Structure 1
Amino acid sequence: MAEEVSDWKPICVASTQGNNSPRSLGPNAGRPGHGYSGYSPSNYFKGAQWSPDGTTLMTDSADHHIRTFILPPDLLDERASPHELSSYSTFPSAEPTYATAIYPYYSLQDPSTTLFLSSVRDHPIKLTSALAPTTMATYSLIHPTTEAFIAPHTIIYPSMLGGTHFLTGSDSLICLFDISRPGNDGPVSWMPTIPSKRKQIVGGGIGMKGIVSAMAVNPVGDGILAAGTFTRQVGLYDSNGSGQLLGTFSVAKTEANREIGGRGVTQLLWSPCGRYLYVSERKSDGVLVYDIRVTGQLLGWLRGRKAFTNQRMNMDVVPSGDGDFHEIWAGATDGFMRVWRNPTHTAGGKDPDWEWKVHNDSVTSTVLHPMGTVAATCSGQRHYPDDASDDKNSSSSTVEIDNTLKVWSMPFLGTQSDG
């Protein structure tokens, strides 16, 4: 660990686990008069994300409920114990939520902007108010042959399109929707990621076959869209995903694959300068770093993440000073959050620079507040009663269940950089 940051510790300023007592998401969480109650070891947090204005956290849980948490205005004031978080609104569903995306101009001061998109199996895409369980609009993505609803595995708002359009990724398909055209009209453009799903060699093998599981738009330049698949491929498209294919490459069969593994792309992140692309996979011990100036060139990899799981475990890119200095923050199955400083400055494998124990279970999301100096983490995984009972007879290990959402103060952010 880096000596200069050895004394810097994140401070928990809010948590769904109040009064140091074990709690988890209960069946009544979010209803009036109910906060977090009961014990539900299977109801873990699957992920969390900040609203663009930093006032609200949105989570998805194993009980198929999306919840919003509005943070108190005195979040960073000194107090004896962390704030106890309770959900503001709850959005139940009979089916799992595949993907969500918060409106890029979300502002708590203007309720008309507090919106988010979500995709659920066998249903149209929904645009919903984050403050009340009210559906504002629906968008149909229907298979042209079977007429069945297609549920996207990833949804994003390209920042350069001003919130007027959104992109969806599904099986060998990327679609662009106009937010002002709800109903049964469908997307304004369909872009198959491979010319033929039957024969991959059609079109000279250009493209990628499989479920588009992650997307990210370059924050600078011409808005290049990176799209990754569960089949371990990445494609690059110009014009915020509505333009032509620039190239594809596979993240399998690399030097890094032998060391950190991987079973399918679950998240893509761009560096602040837009030159490098970070690729996170399920069943992987690290993060891949690609130089996009040379399409498909593996620059290095971040090892020691400890994320050998099929769960999506979201990471984040965190600015750390002037220029393009930045860090990668990522959670792990052992409850630690690990940090790699300036990951593009090292070729080959790079170990984490420091780590903190933030949960007693798998850390499923690590996300920085849009304004910096505050981060959120959430935790949990599927536990089985037999595992716990077997563990009671074992003296070598313990099964810890931690289904919590936490907010951390990071006062040291932006104070370090490598010269």
Structure 2
Amino acid sequence: MAAAQEEAAAAPPSTESDATETEEAPPGGAESDATAMEAAAEYSWLQLRFDRPPRRLYHFARQFRSATSSGSNSSGENFLKGVKWSPDGSSFLTSSDDNSLRLFYLPEEAYIAAEPVAEAAVESEDSYGAFIQANEGEPVYDFCWYPCMSLSDPATCVFASTSRDHPIHLWDATSGELRCTYRAYDAMDEITAALSISFNSSGSKLFAGYNKAIRVFDVHRPGRDFDQYSLLKGGEGPTGIISSISFSPQNGMLAVGSYSQTTAVYAENNMEPLYVLHGQLGGVTQVLFSKDGNYLYTGGRKVPIFSTFGSVHIMLGYSQYCGHCLQVVQIS
């Protein structure tokens, strides 16, 4: 009992009280609208230019090539498997074939607009080393940031990872320590690894994808308690490995993609199926909602095509030839 309380204390703080206060706040009316318009007029919008190639500000290579790990890859042929920015933009997290997660914080000079950073050469030394390296015992299947993460609040600085034959790990992004675990068991009472993970938009739940099923963990109750949902309701849901999960930021929906070439959209509160989307030529490797929640992007396995679903129809197909390889292009 004491151990369970200790694990729960290590989980990220709840945001329910903040949400309640925000909902109960009275509307500002015309006065608040005028204030918002004045603030928008004074805001200096980011100017994007596409008439010149991007500059390489920071360079990281040697620390990956010389990496050693207890995992299967010890030949020096390490490679990156994924990169994800933190929600507050202060850092980015990488996953590589040496079964490690590396966290890089941006240096102070990156925040000073008056001091431009010189372009980094490819042959040069790494710009700086990883602040944290979290080593998993087996290949990492997926990883994700806590959506309410802010560097100004250390309690929210966490990220989750899942690897082969291991439970889901919640890591502290300030110390690199393991805060807690979320464990799922199969019919033989053995730990089964999640193949994809994602926090919901509020950060209160952790959704994990398995074979034909989703398990939902309460973030503030680590351990082996979870709700399980089969995705085969009505016989039209995705089958096989659930490879990716994405939440709509607006309307309480989540999308799941599977290697069975199917993407499905569900209601977050009860996992009721809403839409089943077809059209991907290969297994779905990633699903991602747009920031406004109106579009859903999907990426395919071994087939270099991205599809954009809007109003449950394919709006756009983007193709990029990568040759005959197993390279995965990540949507961001």
User: TM bucket by the smaller chain?
Assistant: 0.7 to 0.9
Aligned equivalent of 2:98: 63
Residue matched to 1:417: none
Secondary structure of 2:133's aligned partner: strand
Q: Distance in 2 between the 1:208 and 1:9 partners?
A: 40
The one-letter amino acid of 1:69's match is F
Matched, 1:304 2:320: yes
Partner residue of 1:158? 200
With a CA cutoff of 8 Å and minimum separation of 6, indicate the structure with the bigger relative contact order. 1
Matched with 1:53 is: 88
| 2:264 alignment partner in structure 1 | 235
**Aligned pairs for 1:267-416 within 5 A:** 267-291=286-310, 293=311, 295=312, 297-306=313-322, 308-316=324-332
CA contact (8 A) 1:284 1:306 kept: no
Matches within 5 A, 1:77-156: 77-82=115-120, 84-143=127-186, 145-156=187-198
Which residue of 2 is the match for residue 337 of structure 1? none
Structure 2 letter corresponding to 1:282: R
Q: Distance in 2 between matches of 1:308 and 1:217?
A: 31
| Aligned partner letter, 1:218 | S
Q: 1:14 aligns to what SS in structure 2?
A: coil
Does 2:252 align with 1:223? yes
Cα-to-partner distance string for 1:101-158 (whole Å, 9 max, x where unaligned): 1111222233222111111222211111123231111111111x12222211211111
- Classify the secondary structure of the residue corresponding to 2:155: helix
Q: Pick one of 2, 6, 14 that aligns with 2:58.
A: 14
Q: Residue 213 of structure 1 corresponds to which residue in structure 2?
A: 243
Cα distance in 1 between the residues matched to 2:239 and 2:162: 21
Q: Deviations over 1:323-376 (max 9, x none)?
A: xxxxxxxxxxxxxxxxxxxxxxxxxxxxxxxxxxxxxxxxxxxxxxxxxxxxxx
Aligned-pair CA distance for 1:95: 0.3
Cα deviation digits, residues 38-89 of structure 1 (max 9, x gap): x965111111111111111110111001110111010263244438031011
- SS at the partner of 1:7? coil
Match of 1:136, SS state, is: strand
1:179 aligns with 2:219: yes
Which digits, 9 at most, give the CA deviation of each residue in 1:156-212, with x for residues without a partner? 1111xx21111111110112110111123x21x2111115xxxxxxx4x23221111
In structure 2, what is the Cα distance between the partners aligned to 1:224 and 1:6? Answer: 33
| Equivalent in the alignment of 1:250 | 278
Give the secondary-structure state (helix, strand or coil) at the position aligned to 1:74. Answer: helix
Q: Distance in 2 between matches of 1:170 and 1:307?
A: 30
Matched residue SS, 1:225: strand
Structure number with the higher strand fraction is 1
* Alpha-carbon offset, residue 289 of structure 1: 1.9
> TM (normalized to structure 2)?
0.75
Judged with a 3 Å threshold, the aligned counterparts in structure 2 of structure 1 residues 290 and 130 are, in CA distance, closer, same or farther, namely same
Where 2:165 maps in the other structure, the secondary structure is: coil
SS of the aligned residue for 1:280 comes to strand
For residues 291 and 50 of structure 2, the distance between their equivalents in structure 1, rounded to whole angstroms, comes to: 26
Aligned-residue sequence identity (percent) comes to 28
Amino acid at match of 1:164: S
Provide structure 1 residue ranges, at least 5 long, that are not aligned to the other structure. 30-38, 196-202, 253-261, 317-419
Amino acid at match of 2:208: T
What code does the residue aligned with 2:222 have?
P
Matching residue of 2:231: 193
Conservation of the 8 A alpha-carbon contact between 2:66 and 2:76: no
- CA root-mean-square deviation: 2.4
Contact 1:284-1:308 within 8 A present in 2 as well: no
Distance 2:300 2:221 in 1: 34
Structure 2: unaligned runs, 5 residues or longer: 1-47, 121-125
CA distance in 1, matches of 2:78, 2:230: 36
Q: 1:157 to 1:8 in 2, by over 3 A?
A: same
Residue deviations 1:246-285, cap 9 Å, x none?
1313325xxxxxxxxx421011122333232211011122
Give TM-score, length-normalised by structure 1: 0.60
Is the Cα–Cα contact under 8 Å of residues 67 and 78 in structure 2 kept in the other structure?
Answer: no
> 1: distance between equivalents of 2:118 and 2:168?
43
The 3 A distance-change label for structure 1 pair 299 and 122 is same
The structure that is helix-richer by fraction is 2
Rounded to whole Å, the distance in 2 between the matches of 1:111 and 1:165 is 19
